Structure 1
Amino acid sequence: MPLTDLSLADCRDFRPELPDPADFDAFWSSTSSGAPAADNRRPAQNPVFTPVDTGLTRIRTYDVTLPGFAVRPVHGWLRSPGCPTGASDCSTSGPITSTSPTRRSI
């Protein structure tokens, strides 16, 4: 447990004074004007979900690509429960946190 000089209630109520930089509004106006939805020259892009074969039998894994800042692609993996067809129970035990494919069944 971290130690602070404020009570829990004081921590929740704490609102520091954070002055905005002089160019704050101009920065965000120019930044958001490059977003796909705000730029009519580029259509908004939907995320792309590509299945990844990890060898896991009860977890579906997808390589996800979506447009990020300045329409640069952002990549990540999405894992979700995936029972074999006809299975009535889809429970797993232990944390599922690996970021690389493993060759084992759960």
Structure 2
Amino acid sequence: MTPFEALYGRKCRTPLKYIKFAIGDRVFLKVSPWKKVVWFSRKGKLSLRFIAPYEIIERIGPIAYILALSPELELIYNIFHFSKLRRYKSNPSHVITPSEIEL
């Protein structure tokens, strides 16, 4: 840690060396809510902060990753900074089979 960082920055943040994703990991993609702009079907307080998990295809340098985006997002550039990604932790208890749902 440099003297500048000790005095002014990165005191409560996770060091960059601990934030790493591997190829094949699944991550959520953070989308920024802008005022008066509808990006993913809702706007305002109810807009999504993170969208469905995507797989990491490739790592570019120490902080950028290429994601395998879905076909409806094909117009979006698929390289993202690590700060826009959040690790996806799969939990089998969150999955509901269609036979359990009564209509």
How does the TM-score come out when normalised to structure 1? 0.22
Rg larger for: 1
The structure that is strand-richer by fraction is 2
